[in-house]
Amino acid sequence: MRRILSLILAVMLVALCFASCGSTDSNAEAGSVFYLNFKPEQDEQWQALAKKYQEATGIKTTVVTAAEGTYESTLTAEMDKSDPPTLFQVNGPVGLANWQDYCYDLSKSDVYKELKSDDFALKGANGEVYGVAYVIETYGIIYNKTILQKYFDAEWSTIKSIDKLNNFDALSTVVSEIQAHKSDLGVDGAFTSAGMDSSSDWRFKTHLANMAIYYEYLADGIGKTDAIKGTYLENYKKIWDLYINYATCKPTDLASKTGTDAETEFKSGKAVFYQNGTWAYGSAAYDEATGLGLKDDEFGMLPIYMGVEGEENLGLCTGSENYWCVNAKADEADIKATLDFLKWVVTDDAGTSALANDMGFVIPFKNAKEASNPLVKIANDYVTAGKTSVSWNFPTIPSEDWKNGVGAALTQYAAGTGSWDDVKLAFVDGWAREYKKANG
Amino acid sequence: MKDRKRIKRLNPLRAYFPIFVLPTLAAFIIGFLYPFIRGIYLSFCTFRTTSDAKWVGLDNYIKAFNDEGFFHAFWYTALFTLVSVIVINVFAFMVAYVLTRGIRGSNTFRTVFFMPNLIGGIVLGYIWQMIFDGILRNYGTSIVLDSRFGFWGLIILMAWQQIGYMMIIYIAGLQSVPEELNEAAKIDGANGWQVLKHITIPTVMPSITICTFLTLTNSFKLFDQNLALTNGAPIAFTAEGAIKQTEMIALNIYNTFYTNANWRGVGQAKAVLFFILVAAIALIQLRFTRKREVQQ
C-alpha cells in the first residue's frame, strides 16, 4: 500500500509541476492577441494601447518587447512555445524568407485594405500579402538650426545659407570650418561621435551603407542582388571620413563610443550634425527636467551627401523595415482576434492617435493622424519640394553577419588598425559569401 | 496484505525510493536528457524553430567542418584554455598557500578574493571592457581593435573572477594536510620547498584535480565574458572570409545559430561536436590527474 501511495504522491508532484507550467487561460473561443514588439523605445506605449484594447473589448492582449538586438532570437524561442506570438514582425524580404512559413496571407484582411498604397505591403511570389508595413521612417543628417545659423552668420564662414548647403563639397566645407572654429561656436566638433558600439553602429553599417547600396541599385536598375559590386564605395569612404575626422572625438575613440554618447553631445549642443532618423526626436527633444535638448523649431535635417552627381536634388532616406506579420500557425480564433486588433489599431481613433502622438509614427494607413514629430514634418517638406527620396534597401542585405563585418571594418579603418580595403572585402566579398550562406 | 509483508522486508530507503528519485529524475529528463537527444537529432536537420525540422543528414556537419571561423575559434579557445588553466591554478594555489600560513586577517582576504565570483559574466565583461578601454584610450586604441588585447583582457578577467573560487577549494585541501606529516618531514630535515613538493602537493592532489577540471571546462565553455568583452572583434578580412579574431567556440556556435537562420542546423552540429570535445577532454584530464592522487 505504502509503496503505491508513494508512487501516487510522486506522480502528483510531477503532475503539479506540469500543471503550473502549462496553465492556459480561459476565454479560448474569443481568441487572444500576443504581439512580440520589435521597438524597445515604444514598449510603454504599446503596453498602454494593449491595455486600452483589452478594456474595450475584453480580448486578452499581451505585448512583449524583445530587448534591443535580440528580436530574432526572442522570436525563434517564442515561436517554439505552446502560446506563440500571434503578431510579430519581419524586417523585409530577407526577414520574410526566414519566416514565410509562419506568415498568414493578409490579402483579404482589413489591415491590408487600409494601406494607402500597395508599396507598403510585403508580397510573396504569387501575390500573397505576408507583411504590412506599419511605420514609415526617415533618416538623414539631423542638425541643430541654432548653431548652424551662428555658423552662417559668422564672418569666417564660406557658406552663408542652408540653400547653399546642398552637396558634398558644401557639407565638407561647412564641417571643416566648424571644426576649425569650434571654440567660437561652443561645440566640441561638427559631427557627434560616430560610435561603433553595438548601440550605435547600425547608423553606419546599415543606414549609411544603404546610401552606397541605393546608388548601385539605381545605376543598375535592380532591387536586390546576390553579388554587390561596390560601385559607390569611394563615396561611402568620403562621407565616413568626414564623420570620423570632424567629430567631437578622435577617430581612435570611436570603437567604444555609444549611441547615448552621440545623443548627449547633440542634445547639449556640443555638436551640430547627427546622423539619425525620425525616431530620434523623442530622445533629443527639449526636456525641462534636465534643461537639455532641442526645441521643435531647432531641428533640421539634411540628406546624406556623399559626392554623387546630381545630389542637389537628393531627399531624405524614407522607408520601412517594420512589417507586421500574423502567425499562420496560431489558432484560428487567435488569428481572427489579431486581425481585429490590427484593424482597431489602424482605424480606431485611440489606435491611430497612439501611433501618431504617443509613438510618433508616420503610418501608411488611410486613417493616419499627422504626427507631431517635427522631423516628420521636415521629411514631408522634402517630398513636397520634389526632392528624390532615397529608398531603404538595407532589408535586402543578405545577413546580420554582413552588417557586423562592415561595422568591424569601419571601426578598424577609423582606428587605423585596418585599411579601407577591409571595408571593400567586407562589403563586396562579404555580400556574395553571406548571400550564398543564407540561400544555399 | 501480501504487499505489506514484502515491503517489511525491504529497507525503508528502498520503499521510499520513488518519492525521492522521481522529482529529480523528471527534472533531469525534462531539463537535460530530452533537450540533449533532441539537440543531436536537430543537428541532422534544417530548421527555423525547433518544433519544425526537416532531416538533411550529414549536410550540417560538412558545412561545420568547412567553416574556417569554427577552426579559428577552436584553436583560439584551446590556447586560451591552456593559458588560463595555468594562470588561474598557479595563482589560486599561491594565494591559498599564503592564506593558510596563519597571517592576520586571513578571513578578510579570503572573502575579498572570493567576491568577484558572485558577479555575473555579462556584467563583468562590460565592466572590464570599460576598465580596459579607459586605459587603452590613452594610447589611442581599444580592446576591440587588437586581438592581443582581447586575449589577455579575457585572461585577466577570468583570472580575477576564478582565482577566488579555486582558492577556496585549495584552502580546504591545504587545511586537510595532516600536521603529523609536516612535523615528521621537518624532523627529518626537509626544508620548506621539500615539504611543499613531497608532502603538501601530493596530499592536495584531489583539490588540484577538481580545480583543473573546473578551470578547464569553464574556459572551454566560456561564453558570456567573451560576448560582453569583445564579441569576437576585431575581424580579419581576406578574400576567402571574415574571421572573428577573439571568438571562442561557444560564441561561434551562438553566432552561427542566430545570425543566419539558414544555418541553425549547422550551429546545432557544431554544438554536438563541441560537446564530444569537452566530454573527451574532461575524461582524459580526469583519468590523468586521478593517477597522481594519494590515498590517505
Query: What ipTM does the predicted assembly reach?
Result: 0.82
| One domain, residues B92 and B194 | yes
Q: How many domains does chain B have?
A: 2
What residue type is B241 in one-letter code?
Answer: G
Q: What is the mean pLDDT of residues B237-246?
A: 88
**Residue A260: per-residue pLDDT:** 92
For residues B123 and B106, state if they share a domain: yes
Contact state of A14 with B129 under an 8 Å Cβ cutoff: no
pLDDT of the residue at A98: 84
Q: What is the pLDDT confidence band of residue A361, given thresholds at 50, 70 and 90?
A: confident
Chain A hits for B125, Cβ within 8 Å: none
Per mean pLDDT, which range of A16-30, A63-77, A391-405 is the poorest? A16-30
* Average confidence score pLDDT of chain B: 89
Is residue B266 over pLDDT 90? yes
Least confident range from A28-32, A44-48, A357-361: namely A28-32
Q: What are the tens digits of pLDDT across the range A244-274?
A: 999 999 999 999 899 999 999 999 999 999 9
Asked if the structure places residue B295 within a domain, the reply is no
pLDDT at residue A371, as a whole number: 81
Confidence class for position A21, pLDDT limits 50, 70, 90: very low
**Same domain assignment for residues B241 and B264:** yes
The arithmetic mean of pLDDT across residues A308-328, rounded, is 93
Whether chain B has a CB inside 8 Å of the CB on A419: the answer is no
* Separation in Å, CA of A100 to nearest CA in chain B: 10
H or E element at residue A323:
strand A323-326
- Whether A238 has a pLDDT exceeding 90, the answer reads yes
Final residue belonging to a domain, choices B5, B31, B57: B57
Q: Name residues 209-238 of chain B within 8 A of A (Cβ).
A: 231, 233-235, 237-238
- Provide, as residue numbers in chain A, all residues whose Cβ is less than 8 Å from the Cβ of B15: 2-3, 6
The closest alpha carbon to B154, from B235, B245, B71, belongs to: B245
| Residue A186: Cβ-neighbour burial (10 angstroms; 0-12, 13-18, 19+) | exposed
Q: Given CB atoms, is A412 within the 8 Å cutoff of chain B?
A: yes
Residues B164 and B229 in one domain: yes
Assess A27–B contact: CB distance below 8 Å, yes or no. no
Which tens digit of pLDDT belongs to each residue from A323-344? 999 999 999 999 999 999 999 9
Is A10's pLDDT higher than 70? no
Q: How many interchain CB pairs under 8 A, A with B? A: 125
Cβ atoms < 10 Å from Cβ of A28: 12
- Per-residue confidence band for B105, with pLDDT thresholds at 50, 70 and 90: confident
Domain range for B277: 62-290
Percent of chain A at pLDDT exceeding 90: 72
Q: How sure is the predictor about A73, in pLDDT bands with cuts at 50, 70 and 90? A: confident
Can you give the pLDDT at residue A179?
96
Residue A71 vs residue A360, higher pLDDT: A71
Residues B20 and B100 grouped into a single domain: no
With an 8 Å Cβ cutoff, are A10 and B19 in contact? Answer: yes
Identify all chain B residues contacting A425, using CB atoms and an 8 Å cutoff.
237-239, 242
Task: List the single range of A68-82, A327-341, A390-404, B7-21 with lowest mean pLDDT.
Answer: B7-21
CB contact under 8 A, A73 and B258: yes
Q: Is A411 on the interface with B (CB under 8 A)?
A: yes
Residue with the three cell numbers 553602429: A201
User: At A115, phi and psi to the nearest 5?
Assistant: -60, 140
- Give dist(CA B105, CA A163) in Å, integer: 73
Which of A1, A408, A440 faces B4 most closely, judged by CB atoms? A1
Say yes or no: B186 and B210 in one domain: yes
Q: Which three cell numbers stand for residue A401?
A: 553577419
**Cβ-Cβ contacts under 8 Å, B7 against chain A:** 2-3
Per-residue pLDDT tens over the stretch A271-304? 999 999 998 888 899 988 888 999 999 999 999 9
Q: Could you give the CA distance from residue A348 to residue A57 in angstroms, rounded to a whole number?
A: 13
Locus of grid cell 600536521: B179
Please check whether residues B32 and B82 belong to one and the same domain.
Answer: no
Q: Domain for residue B69, yes or no?
A: yes
Contact (Cβ atoms closer than 8 angstroms) between residue A325 and residue A88: yes
- The burial class, CB within 10 Å (0-12 / 13-18 / 19+), for A170 is middle
Q: Is A408 on the interface with B (CB under 8 A)?
A: yes
How far does the CA of residue B29 sit from the closest CA of chain A (Å)? 12
Mean pLDDT for chain A? 90
Between A14, A411, A437, which is nearest B263 by CB?
A437
Identify the DSSP state of B281.
H
B241 to A433: CB separation less than 8 angstroms, yes or no? yes
pLDDT surpasses 90 at B249: yes
How many Å lie between the alpha carbon of B15 and the closest alpha carbon of chain A?
6
Residues of chain A neighbouring B52 (CB-CB closer than 8 A): 101
B62 touching A (Cβ < 8 Å): no
Residues B45 and B157 reside in one and the same domain: no
- Is B231 in contact with A198 (Cβ distance < 8 A)? yes
Predicted pLDDT of residue A12: 59
Nearest chain B residue to A84 by CA distance is: B49
The residue ranking higher by pLDDT, B94 or B262, is B94
pLDDT number for residue A24 = 45
Instruction: Note the pLDDT tens digit of each residue in A413-430.
Output: 999 999 999 999 999 999
pLDDT at B10 over 70: no
**Residues 150-169, chain A: which have Cβ within 8 Å of B?**
none
More confident residue, B15 or A348: A348
What pLDDT, on the 0 to 100 scale, is given for residue A3?
64
Q: What value, to the nearest 5°, has the Cα angle with vertex A9 and ends A8 and A15?
A: 85
DSSP for B171-207, written as a single string:
HHHHHTS-HHHHHHHHHTT--HHHHIIIIIHHHTHHH
Q: B210 with B240, same domain?
A: yes
Contacts of B231 in chain A (CB under 8 A): 198
Report yes or no: A73 at the B interface, CB cutoff 8 Å.
yes
In this complex, do B49 and A418 lie within 8 Å of one another by their Cβ atoms? no
Any CB–CB contact under 8 A between B119 and chain A?
no
The answer to whether B260 faces chain A, any CB pair under 8 Å, is: yes
Question: What average pLDDT score do residues A92-111 get?
Answer: 90
pLDDT at B291: 72
Any domain includes B296: no
Whether B46 and B88 share a structural domain: no
- Tracing cell 579574431 back to the chain, one arrives at B245
Are B131 and B253 members of one domain? yes
What is the mean pLDDT of the segment spanning A137-145?
96
Q: Between these two residues, B234 and A29, which has the higher pLDDT value?
A: B234
C-alpha B199, offset from chain centre? 29
Contact check, Cβ <8 Å, B242/A425: yes
CB contact under 8 A, A6 and B140: no
Last residue of a domain, one of B57, B79, B107: B57
B246 inside domain:
yes
Span of A78-82, B137-141, B292-296 with lowest mean pLDDT: B292-296
* pLDDT bracket for residue A5 (50, 70, 90): low
CATH number of the domain where residue B234 is located: 1.10.3720.10
Q: Would you call A76 and B7 a contact, using CB atoms and an 8 Å cutoff?
A: no
Q: What domains appear along chain A, each with residue ranges and CATH number?
A: 30-136+320-366 (3.40.190.10), 138-317+381-439 (3.40.190.10)
Whether residue B74 is found in the same domain as residue B219: yes
Q: Name chain B contacts of A7, Cβ cutoff 8 Å.
A: 18
Instruction: With a cut of 60, say whether residue A97 has pLDDT above it.
Output: yes
Query: Looking at the domain assignment, is residue B93 inside a domain?
Result: yes
